[in-house]
Amino acid sequence: MTALVALDAAVERVMAACRPLEPVGMALADALGCVTAEDVTSGESIPPFANTAMDGYAVRAADTAGAPTELEVVGTIAAGSAASFVVGPGQAARIMTGAPIPDGADAIVMVERTTVLDGGRRVSVSTPAGVGDHVRPAGEDVAPGQLVFEAGTVLGPGHLGVLASIGRQTVCVRPRPRVGVLSTGDELVAGGGPLLPGQIRDSNRITLLALVAGSGFEPVDLGICPDDESHLSGAISHAVERCDAVLTSGGVSVGDFDFVKVALDRLSGGTMQWMQVAIKPAKPFAFGTIEGVPVFGLPGNPVSSMVSFECFARPALRQMMGHPESSLSRPRVRGIADEEFRRGADGKLHLVRVLARWQGDGRLHVRSSGPQASNLLRTMALANALVLLPDGDGVKSGAEVEVLLLDGLS
């Protein structure tokens, strides 16, 4: 029997072969979640001009020293316009939030501290204003020439807004890997029609495509391939031509009809690594490159294919997308087992599907989401975390455990 490979060692082999993709210029609207490959410096100020933070009156602060006081209103400035006049001594201008501070004025009196007089021709100011009150200076947020975001920044909605504010249309990022997803197996059927004896519906493809999309990569649906060497070879060759990485599911465990193995071995020039990883579920796993494209041979059992994706494909694909090393894997935290987790010693790390919840004591508490066999997808769907249960006989209720956070918690 093949020796078991430790999880970390298997991950390392995969990571070594998945280098970051070449940067591209990407439209801001497409760049959410992408990682910058340039130091972004601003050519502009944000805000571009001094403007008011309040609706009110632009005044000369010195004129209000003896407030309450009355000033002559010389005009109105709305956001989007600029004053064609100067605010002179004893004068004020009505002004709306975001409008430029007119020449002559050096402070804003908020509207709540004023009373309109004379049908709007004069205004009474109730309290003195200080120089700069409610004025947002030009360049307060970003100054011209300032380094705004370093290369390696993961772009969130706020980053995209800042880039838009400084006039950028595109940003230099690592592209999202295009990830092909191929289901393999004679028993698999797509769609909702009746099943013939022995057939099952293909669930891995929709799940893996969703994991790919949900992780910020670009999913490519490669359909179902029967257990047939020439079909598999054709489908995988075609896949590596149009994708940055390929995920297959099925046909990698011992005792299969060996067609996936034959096809991947032949196409990879014999460099495919067939591993038995020391984890449960998701022990069988194949990895290699074909024409330089990483190919992940995930196991067919639905839970195993998901766990294998989480352990190997997601971190590797994040690395291809340029994510920093510290955030390639899902967060791991300490949690409290709210029930006993029993297991037997088998040389493997068990990844137990759990429901995790932050509780009033500030700690993450976990309970099994149900039966753990690798074909039982529903208990994986219900889980939002995996407890990493080391080899041995398990832990008692109340023990501290290591928890890998999945979507919904991370």
Site for ligand AMP contains 308 (CB under 6 A)? no
Residue pointed to by tokens 């990571």:
15
From residue 216, give the alpha-carbon distance in Å to each of 210, 285, 380: 10, 23, 21
Q: Which does 207 bind (CB under 5 to 8 A by kind): Mg ion, ligand AMP, none?
A: none
Q: What's the distance, Cα to Cα, between the start and end of the chain in Å?
A: 37
> Residue 109 CB: number of other CB atoms within 10 A?
26
Site for ligand AMP contains 185 (CB under 6 A)? yes
- Between CA 103 and CA 120 the distance in angstroms is 21
Residue pointed to by tokens 């990022």:
173
Give residue 2's identity as a one-letter amino acid code.
Answer: T
Binding mask 222-261 for ligand AMP (x = CB under 6 A): ---------------------------xxxxx--x-----
User: Cβ 184 to ligand AMP, closest distance in Å?
Assistant: 7
User: Cβ 361 to ligand AMP, closest distance in Å?
Assistant: 40
Site for Mg ion contains 100 (CB under 5 A)? no
Strands 293-298 and 245-249: parallel
Q: Which does 202 bind (CB under 5 to 8 A by kind): Mg ion, ligand AMP, none?
A: ligand AMP
Of all residues in the shown chain, the one whose CB is closest to ligand AMP is 300
- Between CA 53 and CA 46 the distance in angstroms is 14
Contacting range for ligand AMP; rule: CB under 6 A; set: 148-156, 200-208, 211-219, 325-333: 200-208
User: Cβ 305 to Mg ion, closest distance in Å?
Assistant: 11
Q: Which does 204 bind (CB under 5 to 8 A by kind): Mg ion, ligand AMP, none?
A: ligand AMP
Position among 177, 299, 315, 335 found at the interface with ligand AMP (CB under 6 A):
299
Site for ligand AMP contains 200 (CB under 6 A)? yes
Site for ligand AMP contains 300 (CB under 6 A)? yes
Site for ligand AMP contains 281 (CB under 6 A)? no
Q: Which does 268 bind (CB under 5 to 8 A by kind): Mg ion, ligand AMP, none?
A: none
Return the number of the residue (56 or 299) whose C-beta is nearest ligand AMP.
Answer: 299
Position among 203, 233, 276, 329 found at the interface with ligand AMP (CB under 6 A):
203
Binding-site size, ligand AMP (CB under 6 A): 19
Site for Mg ion contains 185 (CB under 5 A)? yes
- 332 - beta bridge partners? 404
Site for ligand AMP contains 199 (CB under 6 A)? no
- Between CA 21 and CA 306 the distance in angstroms is 24
Site for ligand AMP contains 9 (CB under 6 A)? no
Contacting range for Mg ion; rule: CB under 5 A; set: 40-48, 62-70, 179-187, 367-375: 179-187
Q: Which positions touch ligand AMP (CB under 6 A)?
A: 183, 185, 187-188, 200, 202-205, 249-253, 256, 299-302
Q: Which positions touch Mg ion (CB under 5 A)?
A: 185, 250-251, 300
